[in-house]
Amino acid sequence: MPSADAPAHLPDAVRRRLLAVMTVWFCMALIDVGIVNVALPSIQHDLGATASDLQWILSGYALTFGAVLIAAGRAGDILGHGGLFLAGLAVFTAASLAAALAPSPAWLNAARFVEGIGAGGMSPQVYGMVQQYFHGAERGRAFGLLGMATSLSVAIAPPLGGALIALGGPFWGWRLTFLINVPLGAAGCVLAWLWFPRPLVRLHASTTHAESAPHGLLASLDVVGSLIAAIAVLALLLPFVEFHASKWVWAWLPVGLAAVWAWVAWERWYAHAGKPAMVDLKLFTLASFANGLTIQTLYFLGMTSVWVLVALYAQEAAGMSAFATGLLGVPSALLAATAAHWAGKRVARAGRKLVIAGQTVAVAGLALSALAVLAHAHLGISLWWLLATLGVYGLGQGATVSPNQTLTLAAVPVAYAGSAGALVSASQRVGAAVGIAVVTGVVFATLTRAAWSTATVAGFTLIAVLMLAAIGVGIRDLRHAKRS
């Protein structure tokens, strides 16, 4: 495997502009998810959408997002991350306009599928460009800024969606939640074209003259491996995002596992044949990458489920409105943004210790939240105490995710920055989908024999176990680093 390449040098002003474009318009894709959750009742009323239509509005985006990640990451490594980011942003913007003008649920679902393709095309390019143009402590600060923006986007999405729906009324309200992406996306395309380094399309330095021909370029892109990877991610995600629809959807799970095995076998053969594999499997021999990816997966198995459980308990057991429930997460998101920015400046010095500390704080916040739920159910205290306990959880979350991404990709060669970043992003998507399905399954199974408070605490307990397992992997990685 090639050694970690020195990142390309750019003037500080150029890198700041590049990071600004990536941060703002990468967060568009994340805000889009939260806004759509708020807009679903309005969509159902205006378009006459069925429950199945509404589910596909959510899951269709998630499925296509995940399916294109790895292929898009490899394409960025070969053709240039800036050009692929610009292409993904253009697709996302055009699909948002189509969604805003949708006359029927089928039209809207098709637009959401295309939106997912655009977002999945953008995401790995962000990791790739940070890896390529930032190094050392600057890379940690860049990922910290991205983590801060991500947390802020989660915080503002629900109230922004509610405000746009109130502003536009029953017909235009939900359409504005998609239409807002159009001017932002158009401005992003212009700024990316003006500010991103040239050339937008480039073959990596390791690419030979012969590979510059169309046949060589296709071989470098590894089309077969890309298709197998897309099938694997799609088949693994589908049962967990559509588990309520039919029991037969679980037949896709063994298909996904078989596709993972086929992808690994293909990549080994492809590399043995002397061709450039889409992901160098020797990346997994890097302890920092393998352990970081495991931590990321375990953490996302639990992290996203916290907010599902809070929403269920607050609305079903405490009778809070959807708007009030959304407010419960705002302080946590703001504190997560602050912690991500703070941790990004220190991860180069603190290393994996910072991630372990962040996870420990997150587990403590989760334990306090479980106590707040029990105290609300049995002692009658206000559920608004969750603002404080979830705030502690947010601090830990902010000090975990971005630093872990920095450490996971630290030793990855620039030649595989996009595909490695795609694996990180795919682990998040798959971990979140699997975690939500498993944790809510445990909650509803407990609910058949106990009250909402007990079921919610059972869900929190499972999440804490997953987080403790991630802490264990972090400790193992820390010990490995000390031995090295």
pLDDT of residue 103: 92
In CATH, the number for domain 282-484 is: 1.20.1250.20
* Residue (of 64, 41, 65, 67) closest to 53 by Cα position: 41
Q: Cα–Cα distance between 201 and 192 in angstroms, integer?
A: 13
Concatenated DSSP letters of 337-393: HHHHHHHHTTHHHHTHHHHHHHHHHHHHHHHHHHHHHHHHHHH---GGGHHHHHHHH
First to last CA, the chain: 19
Query: What residue has token string 């939106």?
Result: 115
Residue 216: predicted pLDDT: 57
Q: Identify the DSSP state of 147.
A: H
What pLDDT is attached to residue 90?
94
Which pLDDT score, from 0 to 100, does residue 95 have?
95
Instruction: Determine the pLDDT at residue 8.
Output: 56
d(CA 256, CA 143): 31
Record the pTM.
0.78
Nearest to 333 by CA among 149, 113, 99, 78: 149
Q: Do domains 10-197 and 282-484 have the same CATH topology?
A: yes
- Closest alpha carbon to 339 in 390, 389, 398: 398
- How far is it, in rounded angstroms, from Cα 123 to Cα 272? 29
C-alpha distances out from residue 302 to 175, 463, 475, Å: 32, 5, 19
Burial 315-337 (b: 16+ CB within 10 A, else e): eebbebeeeebbbbbbbbbbbbb
Tens place of pLDDT for every residue, the chain, 484 residues? 333 334 456 777 888 888 888 888 777 877 887 778 778 788 888 888 887 787 788 778 888 888 888 888 888 888 888 888 999 999 999 999 999 999 999 999 999 999 999 998 888 888 888 888 887 778 888 888 888 887 777 777 777 877 888 888 878 888 998 998 999 899 989 998 888 876 544 444 444 333 444 445 665 677 888 888 889 888 888 887 776 666 788 888 899 899 999 999 998 888 888 777 777 788 888 888 888 889 988 888 888 788 878 888 887 888 887 678 778 888 888 898 889 889 888 888 888 899 999 999 999 999 999 999 999 988 989 999 999 999 999 999 888 988 888 888 888 887 777 888 888 888 887 888 788 778 888 888 888 888 889 999 999 999 999 999 999 999 988 888 777 7
Q: What gap in Å lies between CA 31 and CA 39, rounded to an integer?
A: 12
Q: Which residues does 465 contact at the CB level (< 8 Å), separation at least 6?
A: none
For domain 10-197, give the CATH number: 1.20.1250.20
Q: Where are the domains of the chain?
A: 10-197, 207-275, 282-484
